[in-house]
Amino acid sequence: MKVGLGGLIVLVILSFVFKRDFVSLADTGGMSSGAAVEAPPANVSIAEDSLTQFIGSVLDDTQQHWTEIFAAGGQRYPVSTLVLYRDATPTACGTGQSASGPFYCPADQKVYIDLDFFTELHERFGAAGDFAQAYVLAHEIGHHIQTITGQSQAMRQRQERNPSQANQLSVRLELQADCYAGVWAHSAAQRNLLEDGDVEEGLAAAAAVGDDRLQKAAGRRVTPEGFTHGTSAQRMEWFRRGLSTGSVAECNTFQGVR
């Protein structure tokens, strides 16, 4: 039987409770068991364990899609690894902390997400649903794509040449990662993995972490010169672009930048 992302969560929970592999009974369109996830912290709850397995499956599916894209261009895709942690964890980019939110470390090519973030995504930012979680992970994998293709390094060089444009260039990098997340979501939709409401959940997550919304939520005046990730509208727009086209070429947020 074929199931979507929401159905996969149910199967993961059943597998954990009844100690049987219900996931293998389903046709998940290529999603696998999350082998690229490092061991999560000890003493995780049932909910956290099911979330770990779900996120691992999304991670595998996302990277399988990028493997196919790279192969079509005659290139090999080096997979990233997801590290789920609690409170703090050592990384090649320094100590990762929960206050930092999800992040990608180019020095070790790993994605780091605190286990409590997904609860915060729902309760603090108002972005509920499994596809909101999938969007966050797909966005971070977008940063992995930028690293292995040299786009991140090129952006930093531009920042060094023009420090006054550093924030604007950072915004362009983040919006491109949003578009890359949409490219994967397009593939998931083509394979009938998305369920009713999934797209809306992804867009809600993109909007929830817009710079303007975060500044307002913190009780501060909206200051565009301080943006580093883009407005809610911009993040939704670029996620939609990747989702509607499925084309990496449509994700050139740096067009016209020297």
Q: Does residue 163 belong to any structural domain of this protein?
A: yes
| pLDDT on residue 101 | 86
CB 112 within 8 A of CB 144: no
Q: Does residue 64 belong to any structural domain of this protein?
A: yes
pLDDT digit string, tens, across residues 99-147: 888 999 999 999 999 888 877 877 776 666 788 888 999 999 999 999 9
Burial of 10 (0-12, 13-18, 19+ CB in 10 A): middle
Q: Does residue 257 belong to any structural domain of this protein?
A: no
Q: Does residue 258 belong to any structural domain of this protein?
A: no
Q: Does residue 85 belong to any structural domain of this protein?
A: yes
Q: Using CA of residue 209, residue 212, residue 214, residue 217, what is the dihedral sign?
A: negative
Q: What whole-number distance in Å separates Cα of residue 42 and Cα of residue 18?
A: 20
Q: Does residue 84 belong to any structural domain of this protein?
A: yes
The proportion of the chain whose per-residue pLDDT surpasses 70, expressed as a percent, equals 79
Query: Domain total for the chain?
Result: 1
The parent domain of residue 205 ranges over 5-251
The pairing of strands 103-105 and 88-91 is unpaired
| pLDDT on residue 43 | 65
C-alpha closest to that of 60 among 111, 20, 119, 102? 111
Q: What is the mean pLDDT of residues 212-239?
A: 83
Q: What whole-number distance in Å separates Cα of residue 129 and Cα of residue 200?
A: 10
Burial of 223 (0-12, 13-18, 19+ CB in 10 A): exposed
Q: Does residue 143 belong to any structural domain of this protein?
A: yes
Q: Does residue 256 belong to any structural domain of this protein?
A: no
pLDDT digit string, tens, across residues 182-198: 999 999 999 998 888 88
| pLDDT on residue 184 | 96
DSSP string, 105-156: ETTTTEEEEETTHHHHHHHTT---SHHHHHHHHHHHHHHHHHHHTTHHHHHH
| pLDDT on residue 215 | 77
Q: What is the pTM of this model?
A: 0.81
